[in-house]
Every structure is written in C-alpha cells, then in structure tokens.
Structure 1
Amino acid sequence: MGRGDLTNDEWARLAPHLPKSGGRGGRWSDHRTVINGILFRIRTGVPWRGLPNRFGSWKTAYERHRRWSADAGSTGGMVSVDSTSCRAHQHAAGAPCRTPRVPKRRSTPRQHRPDEGLGRSRGGLTSKIHLAGEGGLRPLALLITPGQWGDSPQLIPVLERIRVKRLGGGHPRTRPDHLGGDKAYSSRRNRRYLRRRQIKHTIPEPKDQRANRRRRRSRGGRPAGFDKERYKRRNEVERTINRLKHFRAVATRYGKRAYVFHGTVTVASLRLWLSP
C-alpha cells in the first residue's frame, strides 16, 4: 500500500457501494487499484498520462473517473454553507462547443458558457465550488458554477442537493435542523425559503438590508434572529473547504468539462468521509 492509498478499513467501507458491472454483461475488476490511481491523480494534480505504472493503465483510471463523474449527478445538527474559488488551469479552457451555431458576435466565448462552470475574472479563468458541510468537517452537497457567480442565488440549489440515507430505511433526509452562513447569503428569498421548510438559520443581516428594513417600519418585517454562539461554528465549513483544497486537482481545475471537475471534487469529498 502506497502513501495516500485507501487503507483496508477504508476499502471495506467503500467496496459494498461500488458497481459490479461495467455494462453489456462485463465486470469491472481491480476497483481498488483504479480508485487508488484516481486518488493519486487528484491528490497530486499530475496529468492522467503521468500516473505511475503501479496503478495500471492511465486510460482505465481516466475513463472510469469520467464515467462515474457523468453518473453522479443524518443532517441533524448544524449545517453550514460557503463557497471557494478555484483557478482554472489553461488546459481547462479548451473544451469545444456542443451547442448549435450562433452568430459571430457574442459577449461570451462558447467554451465559457455557464454549464461548463468557467468564468473570467481579473485573475483569469476561475470556477467556484458552493458547498454545504456538516460539523464533522465533511461535505454534504456541492455545486460548481463560474467563478464570478454570486453566493446568495446558489443557497437553495445547494440545499436541495442534500440527500442523507436514514439508518432505518425510508426516504433520505434532506432538511437540516439548523443552517449557518455569512451575510452573503442574506436575502428575503433565501430567508423565505428557509422559513417555508422550517429550517432554523443563523445568517447575519448586512447593514444596508437592516437600514432598509427599518426605513420601511412595520412593512419591513421583524429583525432576523441571530445567535452569536452558533455563528462561531460557521468556521467548520471553511475548514472543510481547506481540507478539500489539500487535493491539488481541487485547488486548481484541470478538467475541461464541469461534470468531470464536479466528479473530482466528489471523489475528494468521499475521501474525507472515509478518513477517520
């Protein structure tokens, strides 16, 4: 077992959840070797062709990662949300367009359309990971968007991706008991959504929103509740993001396709769940 490979205990927890058939009646073999190769690539950020021979064919590791990425598609206690920007390597910017032809004049290059999760900022091409995490420093749900997209509009899509299997069976749990977020997530739309789903939340109200509410007097509604002690726990999602960015292929985006980068972040997240 090499450095960073799955331990026997981690493999025992993961193996029952892996597919046994590769389609058309064939069976996938050497899952553990291939997954260790995928983890090595995500941890170090080397090109797929640079995988050491001990992981077998680099094509097998790449194709299985790409295929599983395309298929990916108890929350009790405190869940926090936050986002982080990831610089896109120049190799991630060359994906050809899959959309119908459009007139020559366009404001956004075809390969940078929103569904590919690439945005241009002062620092170059970036992607943004929007993340919901639980108190144990493990991700619960994530979303990839262009780097310049705001945080507030992504709160609802991220929360609606939460699915946690119940130990006793039944429908997965999708509603956390309490949600924490910084003031970037403060909006009437988000607070209305959280109240409708009966999710208690600790999100500070920005000064401009507070002044606007007071100016409207009774029509502005009641002040948003805020628990300072609970808000201190918001650092948990920041620490979760920090752990994810220990993987070089997460800190820097190398994949051309958004779903492949999403799969990369998902694999890193699974590794955090498997770690003690």
Structure 2
Amino acid sequence: MDLTNQKITHKVFGEGHIVSHNDTILTVKFDNDKKEFVYPDAFDSFISLKDPAVAQSMEKVVKQLKSEEEEQLREEKEERRQKLIIKKQKRKLKNGRLHESSQAVFWLDEEEQETIFSDWEVSTGKVQSGANKGTPSRAARLRPNSAIVLTAREEEQEETERRILGLFMVPETFSGSTNEDGVIPAHSKYRIQLTDEEADKMLFWNYYKNKNYPERTTWNSGKYRYFDNIWVAQMLKDIIDMRTGEEREEVENFLTYFCQVNALDKESITEAEGALKL
C-alpha cells in the first residue's frame, strides 16, 4: 500500500505528509522537520491519515499485521515449549528414566474402529483378574514420549494380516501411571489416519517381533502391548515414503517430534525387521 504524499496528523507534531515508507519505517515531513516512525505501529497509536478511504484501508492493514504478529508470537511460544519438553525428555532418557519400549499398540474392535478417528482416544480396557478386577487398566509405561499405534484385523484373517490403521502421540501432560479412567487421548497435532490403501501396505508384524521368539506372530490376549521406540520411527518413515505434499509433511513433522522426544537420530533409522521379514 503506497502512502507517499498522504497527509497525516500527529498527536504531538501536528500536520504533515508522508515522504516515504518501507516495511518498517515511515518518514513524515512536518513544517520544519522530518521524523521517522515505526511502520505500521504508528497508525495504531499517534498518527492518523486525513483521507477517510485511505485511513480505512490502513486500519485493515494494521489489523492484519497485528494478527500475523500475534500468530508468530504464539508459534514462537509453542516452539520454546516443545524445545523444553524435548530437553526434559532427553534428560530423562540420559538418566535412565525413559523406557526403551514405551510405545503401545492397541487392538481395536469393530466399534472402536468406527469411532477412533472422530473421538481420537482409545481405552486401555479393564483389569481382568486379581484385587483390581473390573477397574480401568493403567498403561503405566506411557509418558509424553509415547506413541499409540492403532491396529485391527478381521475375524477371519490370520494374525499376520493385522494392519496399522493410524498412530498418535499422547499429550505432553499425559502420564499412564496416574491415569485413572483408562482413556488415552491423542495429541492435538501429532495424529495420523491411514487410508485403506495405505493400511493394506502397513502390516504390523513387519515391524513387531517377540524378542524371545522372533518368528512368532501371535496375539492371544490383552487389549494392548508395549513395544520398542524405534519401531514407531520405522513405521513413520515408511508412511512418509507413501505420501506426497502436505500429507507427507504432516508425517515428517510427526517423525521429527517423535525422534526428538525419544532421543532418536532421525537420519539413522534402520529398516524394519519384524517377524514377517525374518
């Protein structure tokens, strides 16, 4: 917006006209002097344009720029917060307080498959025996560095055909050991739903293996189980290879964050070596 030669009124210096301006500086000529002001802030406080139409247009510009500045400040604040979380997570890992297998895979039933990607939360289920029978199960190993992998298979399918339907990080404030209702909510940003075509290519047992029985592909009981941090990174890396554009960028951001909070080197992620690949 070119404001050169526009007449203005300053609350202190009186009337003048604009000599020049750029993205940051506004130069105004008064009777006997030239003065520089911060652009566009000056229009929001002590300088007013005499032309009503130009003044109205300038008001919109100032409002838009202020909105952009506020958004930038929010993003910078969020970036600082994320860096602090990552720093704390790395310190915990260094001190041995982050488990190397703090990720969880869930077996979704038919009802959960219908609601998971609208509700974006999953239940740990109930304790099946003992003194706490019937109470919500606590996934005590889950922490802010944890991801939840959502899987399912049809009743008539073999276990080897279990597909990955999606993934999400838990919120930064989540703690499985203090979670009383057994509900694990998804992070507001780091969540991914796979298409049917993608899920068909993402077989869970390509990544998971029982360390004592590497070739065994069984899931006899239990709603969820823990597994290695690196396996989630491998999953995300393979999803990235299937996507383009903004959808690819979404997964890349997920992978970057996941590696940071789990102190993993994103450039050194190995190829998957699950039970189906042995």
TM-score relative to the length of structure 1: 0.22
Structure with the greater relative contact order (CA < 8 A, sep ≥ 6): 1 or 2? 1
Greater share of helix residues, 1 or 2?
1
Q: Which has the larger radius of gyration?
A: 2
TM-score relative to the length of structure 2: 0.21
